[in-house]
Every structure is written in C-alpha cells, then in structure tokens.
Amino acid sequence: MPRRAVVIGGSMGGLLAAAFLQRIGWEVDVYERTADDLATRGAGLGTHEALLEGLRALGIDTGERLGVLVRDRVCLDRAGDVIARRTLPQVMTHWARIYEGLRPLVDRAHFHAGRSFTRWRQTGAEVVAQFDDGSEAAGDLLIAADGLRSTIRPQLEPQAQPRYAGYIGWRGTVMGIDLPRDYYFGLPRGEMMLTYPVPTGEWNFVWYRPTSEHELADLCTDASGCCHGNAIAPPLIRPELVARLKRDAHELLAPQLAFIIERSQPFFQAIFDLESPRVAHGRVVLLGDSAFVARPHVGMGVTKASLDARCLARSIELAGDDLDASLERYNRMRCEFGRWCVNRSRSIGAYIEQRAVADPARVLSDVGAVRAEIAITY
C-alpha cells in the first residue's frame, strides 16, 4: 500500500509538495478552497537557480516561455538618470507560468477544487482532514500548504502570527513598455519602486510605500465605507487612491518609472513577516507561506516553497519507513532556512520601515547578494 498525503492548498506550495511526493511513490490528494482557475491571477516574480533546478527535476521546461533573462540592475534618480548599476543576470518569470507547469502534475482525480478545510484529528498514525461540506480525507501525513492566512497553523502554533512590516507593495503588470530589458529601481526617501520584464510581454512593478496601520485600514475601505481588514479585492480599491498613487509617481519617480505606474491598474498587498517555531507537529507539517513568510525583497516565496517540498520528500526517502525521523529532519532544516529568509529580507526592508534614505549602490548589492547566499539545502 502506498503512503498517502492530504495536502491543504492547491497553489505553488501544495502542487510542489504533491509533485515531489508522487515521485517517491506516495499517493497525494490536494484540496483547494478556490473553485476557479488560479492561473488567471498573479503577477511577476524573480527566480533563483534553486527553483529552476527543482522545476527541471519535475520535468518542467525552464526555457524562454518560463522566464526573461535580465542582465543589469539599474537605479534611476528622479530625473531619470542612472545613479547606480550592477550586473547580475536573473531570470524573471510570471506566477502563472510556473503554476501552469505544475498544475498538470497532479491529475484531476487527485486535485479537489472548491474544498475548504476546517480541522483535523489524529488517530494513531492516521490523520483525518475535515472540510466545510462535512466530507473527510485520511492519510499518513497532513500538509498545510494553505498560505499566510493558514487555517491549520493557528491550531498548532497560536503564537505564530503574521507581523505587519509597516509598509505595503503596490503591484501590477503593464503592456507596451519600451525600455531595455533590465531590472530598474527608483528609491524615493523611505520607498522602493522596482520593475522588470516578464515572459508575458508585460512589465511587472512593485512600489513599496510606508503605510501606518490606520492608513492601511483606509486603503482597505471600499467606496461604500466597508473596511475589508488588511487586504481588499483589486476591483474594490477606491479610484481616488489609484489617482493619488499616479500623481505621487510623477512627483517622486523617474519619468520612465512613473509612466509604468500611470499605465497600470494597480492593486496592493500589505507586507508581513511570519516565523513558526516548528513546522512539524506529529503527522502535520507546515510548508511554504503557512510556515514562514519573508518580505518579497529576497524574492523567495516560490523558491522556498519548492525547497520545502523537496526537503520533505528527501527526508522521507532518507529515513525509509521512519516517518517521525524524517519529519524531525524536515523541521530542523526548514526552520533554519525559513528564519534566514525572514531575517535577510527584514534587513533589506529596514530602511522602508524607518522611512530613511536608501543608498542606491547598497540596495542593488543587498538585493543581488541574496542570490549568492542561498544555501540550496534540502
């Protein structure tokens, strides 16, 4: 009888966990709350060699359709002149391109969309997941790949709460930008705007802006006066907030960068840090964003999910039948790496939190250095 895993969350972390476990002979079922196709969402992201290597190990083509190679990081001042440059080739991709490669690796019979997990129970060596429609699924292992707002983590680690970093990232993708294919930065005081091309032909941008909790509540309030907490669906963002962002772009950013904001339909996300003291509890493991979330400056979200998934499969392979020993190895290695990611990204974002002036050469070198520092351990 093959071992069975129940995975909660059918985004990157859940699909990667399923794909790597299937490769070592496990039977895996993935349960995703969202009923519609996730591929229609998402924007740009940077890759690391560890991610590309993991995708290739799963048989996914990492050629031109997946990513655009950018060569230089370039910082522009308010006038649009280059004030710092650093050569550091990196493949930039689009969330949907990775998702489209991963999704077919879990067949339809084992991918259950529109199923929302509520709780679990462990009886002996078996874990049983329960869903809001009253149904259940049993396995040897329950994998929480249910993201930053995990339903499972608070039941295991109530003290591991996302901590707001004090700033948000306005994001979007824009067609029709005629710039050399580099990775651009603009650094107004206490802020960071960056933009790069992605393989859909668009340019992806993120503009980090200090935002108090009070201001965040206002940004998350729709035109009818309803506050949606610390996130709001893009169509509900009040038009005057977008108009203000575009005005600010012309005032604070290089004309080339302001043009991108001007052409966009931006949305935003609040930036959080999350650290879990442990990522394995009995036969339940946390993986991807449910375990650790580092600020996006290290561009590590999908790479970390991939390394988590690979480490889980490898730990199981190494320990043979001893699932407890393999989960202990997983716990040790992923906590170490997760903490490193959170600390590294926190130090890069510290000047935004403090609303301080950035040193352009330092920002380019810090963001670049992360790529060389990643320990590809799994």
> Which stretch of DSSP H or E encloses residue 336?
helix 323-353
234: which DSSP letter?
A: G
- Closest distance to ligand FAD from the beta carbon of 189 (Å): 26
- Which residue's Cβ lies closest to ligand FAD? 288
Q: How far apart are the first and last CA of the chain?
A: 26
For ligand FAD, the binding residues in 185-214 under the rule CB under 6 A are none
Q: Which of 50, 45, 62 has the alpha carbon at shortest distance from 372?
A: 50
Q: Which is nearer to ligand FAD, 188 or 299 (CB)?
A: 299
Q: Which is nearer to ligand FAD, 116 or 200 (CB)?
A: 116
Residue 267 identity (one-letter amino acid): F
Residue 21 engages ligand FAD in binding (rule: CB under 6 A): no
- Closest distance to ligand FAD from the beta carbon of 364 (Å): 20
The residues with which 30 forms a beta bridge, in sequence order, are 7, 111
CA distance 156 to 149: 13
Find the part of the chain contacting ligand FAD (CB under 6 A) among 157-165, 178-186, 299-307, 313-321.
Answer: 299-307
- Closest distance to ligand FAD from the beta carbon of 43 (Å): 4
x-marked contacts with ligand FAD along 139-168 as a string, rule CB under 6 A: ------xxx---x-----------------
Q: Which is nearer to ligand FAD, 151 or 252 (CB)?
A: 151
Q: Which is nearer to ligand FAD, 29 or 146 (CB)?
A: 146
Sheet holding 117-123, edge to edge: 117-123, 126-131, 136-139
CA distance 302 to 46: 9
- Closest distance to ligand FAD from the beta carbon of 6 (Å): 11
Q: Which of 95, 292, 340, 378 binds ligand FAD (CB under 6 A)?
A: 95
Query: What are 366's two structure tokens?
Result: 């810090």
**Burial call 104-139: b when 16+ CB within 10 Å, e when fewer:** ebbeeeebbeebebeebeeeeeebebebeeeeebeb
CA distance 161 to 352: 21
Binding-residue total with ligand FAD (CB under 6 A): 29
CA distance 293 to 291: 7
Find the part of the chain contacting ligand FAD (CB under 6 A) among 27-35, 133-141, 221-229, 321-329.
Answer: 27-35
Q: Which is nearer to ligand FAD, 118 or 354 (CB)?
A: 118
Q: What are the C-alpha distances in Å from 212 to residues 121, 165, 216, 218, 356?
A: 39, 9, 6, 10, 15
For ligand FAD, the binding residues in 303-332 under the rule CB under 6 A are 305
Residue 230 engages ligand FAD in binding (rule: CB under 6 A): no
Residue 349 engages ligand FAD in binding (rule: CB under 6 A): no
- Closest distance to ligand FAD from the beta carbon of 365 (Å): 22
Alpha helices in 78-202 (DSSP H): 95-102, 153-156
For ligand FAD, the binding residues in 103-142 under the rule CB under 6 A are 116-117
Q: Which residues bind to ligand FAD, rule: CB under 6 A?
A: 8-14, 31-34, 38, 41-43, 45, 95, 116-117, 145-147, 151, 288-290, 301-302, 305
